[in-house]
Structure formats: structure tokens, C-alpha cells
Amino acid sequence: MEPVLPTAPSHQKHIITAVAVLVAITLIVVATVAATKKKDTTASTADAANISSQTATTSATYNDGTYSANASYQSPGGTEKVAVKLTIKGGVVTTSTVTSTPTESEAREYQDMFLSGYKSKVVGKSVDTIKLSRVSGSSLTSEGFNSALATIKQQAKA
């Protein structure tokens, strides 16, 4: 699943939706996974009735601050809870956490599955624009390796 939480880049500002929407998505995803997987029991419903937030806003711009929301939903195994916290600065979500306190082992499994998918994609910046002393990544290789690699690439094209 695609993460719905942008981290910093300004071009992603518009993706940001209100906290309530985020929580709703969280619940729907978790509940849908649960429902799809467990066909032989009563279908669960995403019930986002218990959403509360400190300073929730639904306007197009977002005030700086830390927002948090708790929600519960009914799973086949009982009531499960999810807490979402995010910090917005200059219209961008700068940090976010999702914590779950599943009461039932299967819910834990599904929530873990969701949480492990809840990760930001990395964003790159040109190395020239940042003040750095060193860079770490893949090791530079010897001339011998590089020329061998160039040769097989050439052969592959031929």
C-alpha cells in the first residue's frame, strides 16, 4: 500500500489531508485486511466514531502543531485501538507515528502488517546543495572492476 504521509518535500504538500482522513484510512486499511483475510466470520466494519483530536482542522492550510487522534474499530476479535500522532510545520507533516495496542493476536498481526508498510519513501537531494565532509554508500571499486564492468555492458549491447 502507498504511504499517505508525506514527510518533507513541498511538492507533496497537497497530498496532506486532515488528520481525521488519515485515521479513517488507517482504520479502513486495517479493517479491510482483516475482513478479506477472515471470510468465515462476521465482516468487520470500520467505525471511526471515536476520533478526537486536539486542534484538528479541515481547511486547506494546516496550522503548525502536533496533532493526535485515537480511534477504535470493531474487528472479529473485539475492539481494537490505534493512535496516530503527527507534527505539522509549515504545512508539511514532519513527523508521524502510528501506535497500536491490539488486544487480540490476529489483530496484532494485521496491524503489524500495516505498520510495516507505513514507511516513508526516501527522498534524495543533490549532493552539491548540501555541506558534507564525506559521503557513504556503495564502495568505489577499482579501475579493474570498473573496466571489466564496462566491457560486459558493452558486450551485452552488442
Q: Rule CB under 8 A: choose which of 62, 73, 110, 118 binds other proteins.
A: 118
Q: Is 17 in the site for other proteins (CB under 8 A)?
A: no
**Which amino acid appears at position 149 of this protein?**
L
Nearest C-alpha neighbor of 96 from the set 14, 16, 10, 2: 16
Q: Is 3 in the site for other proteins (CB under 8 A)?
A: yes
Tell me the C-alpha distance between 31 and 29, whole Å.
5
What is the DSSP-derived secondary structure letter of residue 49? T
Q: Is 123 in the site for other proteins (CB under 8 A)?
A: yes
Q: Rule CB under 8 A: choose which of 59, 61, 105, 126 binds other proteins.
A: 126
**Site for other proteins, residues 138 to 157, rule: CB under 8 A:** 138-142, 144-145, 147-149, 152
**Site for other proteins, residues 73 to 92, rule: CB under 8 A:** 87
Q: Rule CB under 8 A: choose which of 105, 121, 154, 157 binds other proteins.
A: 121
- Tell me the three state secondary structure of residue 72: strand
- Tell me the three state secondary structure of residue 22: helix
Q: For residue 120, what are the contacts with CB-CB under 8 A and spacing of at least 6?
A: 3, 5, 6, 7
**Residues of the shown chain interacting with other proteins in the complex, contacts defined by CB under 8 A:** 3, 5, 7-9, 87, 94-97, 115, 118-128, 130-142, 144-145, 147-149, 152
